[in-house]
A = this chain, B = another copy of it.
Amino acid sequence: MTYKVGLLGLGTVGTGVAKILQDPAGRHPLLPNIEISRVGVRSLAKQRDVEIDPNIVTDDLESIVNDPAIDIVVEVIGGIEPAKSLILKAIDHGKHIVTANKAVIARYGNEIFSAAKQKGVYVMLEAAACGGIPVIQALKQSLGGNRISELTGIVNGTTNYILSRMYFEGADFDKTLAESQQLGYAEADPTADVDGYDAADKMAILASLAFGDRIKLEDIYREGIRSITSADIGYAKELGFTIKLLGIARRTDSNTGGKDDSNLEIRVHPTLIPIQHPLANIHGVTNAVRIEGDPIGEVVFSGPGAGAGATASAVVADIINVVAALKSMPNNVNQLMGCSHEHYAKIAPIENTVTQFYARLLTHDKPGVIGDLGTAFGKHCVSLNAILQKNTIHDGLAEIVVVTQRVSEYNFQQAISSIRDLPTLHSIPTVLRVL
């Protein structure tokens, strides 16, 4: 029996999916049972990199989600609309969904999964977060025996590419971003990547699967990498760290010391990582996710973060999963493939985070500056782990870098606030958290 796929979108990912399905030799034996029966595109005139029978291509996307012959709708259009409405309509018509759309899932997963549950259809999203790393299925199934305590990840390829180049070349952010845009590694409007929105979308999806609760995107603390300078990278190196845009999600049972009734801490921000940490050596556009669970301990997955091949691979894996399930049990849903979270996670406010901090300060080069800083930190119970002062740089300003011990975000921000009032302080160009 053949299963019919309606493909919404024939950009790079859609093209990649079509190519895999057209060339099944040496791949999974189920592939020949899958047929692309209709393809929806925005422009019929556009030249494509794959041969598709023109009779099955349409620009009437609605006609695909309504088509009674179609079993699985694969949504690889991207963006919020019309993707979201098409997914919901397809579910309403009893289609199973495979999507690569992190933006829609992170924002409307609630609505979509509730609808899917009611209709008894699958919504598969391996491609929506780190397509090149088979981490979603691991979270849904392979790690099911574990109580997961922490999930950290380099989940955005563009920022990792930029930070890797800054690390190896000592280059500045603006220059590196411009070059990355020229090379096609960063978008013309890089906001979604460099300001951490894309990473936050992915962390919402991954954390929801890891911890079994729904996550509201607006609860995720988010900070991008625009403030990172080559000076910070240099100091980080000297102190034995690298800087990565990291997504961090962990249970708060132990970490917040019961300051709130949260069960989860989740944040995306540039982070100093000790150079021997498994995520510190993930460079370029590669993504990696580290999961800590009981009893498994530490598991790390790495792979291509994005790109047509990786995303198409994940989409096809999801199609295969749905087809295998449909073959053996057309009328029942396999619980491992569904998403059945009913409750929202209680996310701890960022002030309650306990972590180490890195700060780079510019001060007027006068006697007593270090003493002033030390007093201000001490007053707010912030102990220091390292302090570096290099030569006076220019205009009578001295650059001082401090790394704190583990302290609460609240205490640290209080200390920073009182330091800003010091007459000897010029400015605090960078404040970063340390893993």
Interface residues of A (CB under 8 A from B): 16, 19-20, 25-31, 126, 132-134, 137-138, 141-148, 212, 278, 281, 293-304, 307-310, 312-317, 319-321, 324-325, 327-329, 332-337, 340
Question: Looking across the interface, which residue of chain B has its beta carbon closest to that of A333?
Answer: B328
Chain B residues lying within 8 Å of A296, measured Cβ to Cβ, are 132, 303-304, 309-310, 313
Among B145, B297, B310, which residue has its beta carbon within 8 angstroms of that of A297?
A: B310
Among B16, B26, B28, B134, which residue has its beta carbon within 8 angstroms of that of A299?
A: B134
Pairwise interchain contact B278-A295, C-beta atoms closer than 8 A: no
Pairwise interchain contact B29-A321, C-beta atoms closer than 8 A: no
How many copies altogether? 2
Bound-state Cα–Cα, A325 to B321, Å? 12
Given contacts A145-B27, A145-B316, A328-B335, contact A297 B302 (CB under 8 A): no
Chain B residues lying within 8 Å of A329, measured Cβ to Cβ, are 328-329, 332, 334
In the complex, 16 of the A-B residue pairs with CB atoms within 8 angstroms, ordered by the A residue number, are A20-B145, A27-B145, A30-B144, A30-B335, A134-B138, A134-B299, A137-B141, A141-B320, A145-B316, A281-B281, A295-B312, A295-B313, A297-B309, A320-B336, A325-B328, A328-B332
Bound-state Cα–Cα, A164 to B297, Å? 20
Pairwise interchain contact B26-A145, C-beta atoms closer than 8 A: no
11 new A-B contacts, CB < 8 A, other than A27-B144, A145-B314, A328-B334, are A28-B145, A29-B212, A134-B143, A293-B313, A295-B308, A295-B313, A297-B307, A299-B304, A328-B329, A328-B333, A329-B332
Given contacts A30-B336, A335-B30, A336-B321, contact A299 B132 (CB under 8 A): yes
Chain B residues lying within 8 Å of A334, measured Cβ to Cβ, are 324-325, 327-329, 334
Bound-state Cα–Cα, A297 to B300, Å? 17
Bound-state Cα–Cα, A313 to B144, Å? 8
Pairwise interchain contact B336-A324, C-beta atoms closer than 8 A: yes
